[in-house]
Amino acid sequence: MREKSVDTAVRVRGLVKRYGNRTAVDGLDLDVRTGTVTAVLGPNGAGKTTTVETCEGYRRADAGTVRVLGLDPVADAAALRPRIGVMLQSGGVYSGARAEEMLRHMAKLHAHPLDVDALIERLGLGSCGRTAYRRLSGGQQQRLALALAVVGRPELVFLDEPTAGLDPQARRATWDLVRELRADGVTTVLTTHFMQEAEELADDVAIVDAGRVVAQGSPEELCRGGAENTLRFTGRPGLDLGSLLKALPDGTAAAELTPGTYRISGDVDPQLLATVTTWCAQHGVMPEGIAVERHTLEDVFMELTGKELRG
């Protein structure tokens, strides 16, 4: 059991958090292995932020246990806070403070901070060193928040939607930094509703829906679920999928995702592909953009929750 506390940076069991009548988190379990990147993936309102903020010590659990680096985030806050880095979803900086000033200040609160100049350079914040926070662009504010989370050389960082609202280039830069953190032994927990972010970065993905983890594993493990592949195509809306399914082997599923967009999932082999195209030919349907795809996290999410993730 001792082994476990060393290898597990975050351990959440049966977490429940209510706001008035609304249950934001409803019996959530989560394990984060030390030294890995874990993505908490889910749509808005799934309970991601509440979970992370409970781990950060901001909220008291209504039920369940939370251990972060072996500590209780509320009772042991004084011991825990120097060891974690926190990036809030927004805000957190004096509106009149300059980016560099705030970063230097946060560095001063720690015993062995990173080199501030190098961090500013690394995150491309050099041009806004003298600009007041409220005049920075959204992307610059995000990058500053990320810098504030890592400047104290934490063991564990919590990043709440670190790339929401970033352009693709800035998103890549953030991803690169997360990879560097991982390479240097920092554990990262990030929340996201971007599928691609979870697939690119995470060793482990916890899919959260309605306050619970509905699946957890590596992206590969989650996508392997059932060894299924997917066939997608577009055609005219309202095709009779029942008739198509009759022609396909048992265990195959077909769905019209949006009007005119079809997805066949199952054991997609050359025979199945031929059957689908033959059926289309018989029904006078041109299957535009037909493609065989690996099962994606998006599909996994959809199967588990019946919902589309915003991407």
Partner 1 sequence: MSTGTYSPRPGAAPVGRMIAAQAALETRMLLRNGEQLLLTVVIPSLLLVLFSTVDVVDTGAEKAVDFLAPGVLALAVMSTAFTGQAIATGFERRYGVLKRLGASPLPRWALMTAKTLSVLVTEVFQIALLTVIAFALGWSPQGGPLPVALLLVLGTAAFSGLGLLMAGTLRAEATLAAANLVFLLLLVGGGVVVPLEKFPDAARGVLELLPISALSGGLRDVLQGGAGMPWGDALVLAVWAVLGLGAAARFFRWE
Write out the residues near partner 1 by the rule CB under 8 A: 56-58, 78, 81-84, 86, 88, 90-97, 101, 105-106, 108-112, 114, 118, 148, 150, 152-155, 180-181, 183-186
Residue closer to partner 1 (CB basis): 161 or 298: 161
- Residue 11 CB, shortest distance to partner 1, in Å, is 19
Residue closer to partner 1 (CB basis): 158 or 301: 158
- Residue 158 CB, shortest distance to partner 1, in Å, is 9
* Residue of 142, 294, 300 lying closest to 208 (CA atoms): 300
The DSSP symbol for 296 reads: P
- Residue 181 CB, shortest distance to partner 1, in Å, is 5
- Residue 151 CB, shortest distance to partner 1, in Å, is 10
Distances, alpha carbon 156 to alpha carbons 59, 86, 118, 179, 215, in Å:
18, 9, 20, 14, 23
- Residue 305 CB, shortest distance to partner 1, in Å, is 29
H-helix or E-strand spanning residue 67 = strand 63-68
* Residue of 18, 74, 11 lying closest to 211 (CA atoms): 18
Which residue is listed with tokens 């491309």?
Answer: 124
Structure-derived torsion over alpha carbons of residues 220, 225, 230, 236, reported in degrees to the nearest 10: -120
| Cβ–Cβ under 8 Å, residues 189 and 10 | yes
Q: Can you tell me the distance from the alpha carbon of 123 to that of 1, in angstroms, rounded to the nearest whole number?
A: 40
Residue closer to partner 1 (CB basis): 6 or 78: 78
H-helix or E-strand spanning residue 106 = helix 99-108
The DSSP symbol for 188 reads: E
Q: Can you tell me the distance from the alpha carbon of 19 to that of 262, in angstroms, rounded to the nearest whole number?
A: 39
Residue closer to partner 1 (CB basis): 85 or 219: 85
In the sheet with 37-41, reading across from the earlier edge strand, the strands are 84-87, 156-160, 187-192, 37-41, 204-209, 212-217
Residue closer to partner 1 (CB basis): 97 or 290: 97
- Residue 225 CB, shortest distance to partner 1, in Å, is 34
Residue closer to partner 1 (CB basis): 181 or 207: 181
- Residue 116 CB, shortest distance to partner 1, in Å, is 13
Q: Can you tell me the distance from the alpha carbon of 89 to that of 60, in angstroms, rounded to the nearest whole number?
A: 19
Residue closer to partner 1 (CB basis): 145 or 206: 145
Which residue is listed with tokens 């592949």?
Answer: 229
